[in-house]
Structure 1
């Protein structure tokens, strides 16, 4: 399989709602990049929905869509996190977290009822979201001496590279984002400038 350097995610937070027998299922979809974003989001939701019974979720991360987690948060195994994740997989999305907040309505829904509720609420949130295509980009740090500044800046402009951070002194540092499919040509050009060192940081 050829490496694809694009992936689908959501542009911003979106939500959906599903009701069944008095229970209310509020699904909120979040664009995220790292696992460390999940806990604070759940903590905030627990403050906002202090009377809710369950906070079930699933997320999928990385441009190659290889990392995912599910959490049933006290619901019967396989009735919450898995249906949420299946909605993410069906829509072929990554770098996304969907949390479904459940308010219990007093009537048990049974396993099929729960699966349907978590699935429907999650699909509503995905439907409400704006789905966007993003390119797979590598983040690099560029280290160079002040004298190389013009050459480095010229190359960044030529290649339309996004500068995330910059620090100019006798020794200069730039943090740049490079689309993966252009990486070889960009690195080759940097190699031609004397005393420039590139350090790979991460892929987003």
Structure 2
């Protein structure tokens, strides 16, 4: 069973200044190392005159792919702290690049760690993070006498109704979180005395953004 996870859904940018050094954080959703490397190259071209473009990324529902770089800063003062922020927030499918324009004053290792960490934190504030729920898309077919009871149960269990079709019968397409699958299917069967048609269609993943259901590519 897959667990709920968080992704960077929409990227953002932010800038902080420490002792006249500018730290510009750029974040983008990525699904592969190739996409992350492309974003890194784009950022380097955009800020071609900067001294450093440090980066960190986390890819995969369980963070299977992780990588970071100090890009010339003292070891462990940039990429690792950036990665720590992403991991601490539990966010995956994200690449963060922090560009530094040196302001003439050395910050020391502690100052660099704080600056790069803070830049990523500010970048996340200007981004959209989506909580994702692995689920099964399920079609529930019933007659008009049973639909009210089913809708009530779905509401009690906070199950998302993706679509409703009314003809000689009613078909509800619902998103059942994987962790609730067995219980919900059993409850729906018991509630209708086995009369409802229940068809598990696809494994999906979804999130809720501004009260809208966002279906995600499950590949």
**Could you say whether these structures have the same fold, taking a TM-score greater than 0.5 normalized by the shorter chain as the test?**
yes
Gaps of 5+ in 1: 138-156, 161-178, 188-201
Say yes or no: does 1:130 pair with 2:128. yes
The answer for the alignment partner of 2:7 in structure 1 is 9
Structure 2: give runs of 5+ residues left out of the alignment: 136-164, 166-170, 182-198, 203-216
Alpha-carbon distance, 1:66 to partner: 2.8
| 8 Å Cα contact 1:56/1:72 also seen in 2 | yes
How many residue pairs get aligned? The number is 153
Matched, 1:78 2:68: no
CA-based RMSD: 2.8
Q: Do the aligned partners of residues 3 and 47 (structure 1) sit closer, same or farther apart at CA in structure 2, a change above 3 Å counting?
A: closer
Residue 170 of structure 1 corresponds to none
Does the CA contact (< 8 Å) of 2:6 and 2:92 recur in 1? yes
Rounded Cα–Cα distance in structure 2 between residues aligned with 1:83 and 1:50: 23
Aligned pairs for 1:98-117 (under 5 A) are: 98-117=96-115
Using the size of structure 1 for normalisation, the TM-score is: 0.66
1:63 maps to: 61
- Structure having greater relative contact order (Cα 8 Å, sep ≥ 6): 1
Kept after mapping to 2: 8 A contact 1:60/1:69: yes
Q: Which has the larger radius of gyration?
A: 2
- Once the two structures are superposed, what CA deviation does each residue of 1:95-153 show, in whole Å capped at 9, x if it has no partner? 0111001111111111001001000100000111121123448xxxxxxxxxxxxxxxx
Report if the CA contact (8 A) 2:2-2:134 is conserved.
no
- TM-score (norm. length: structure 2): 0.62
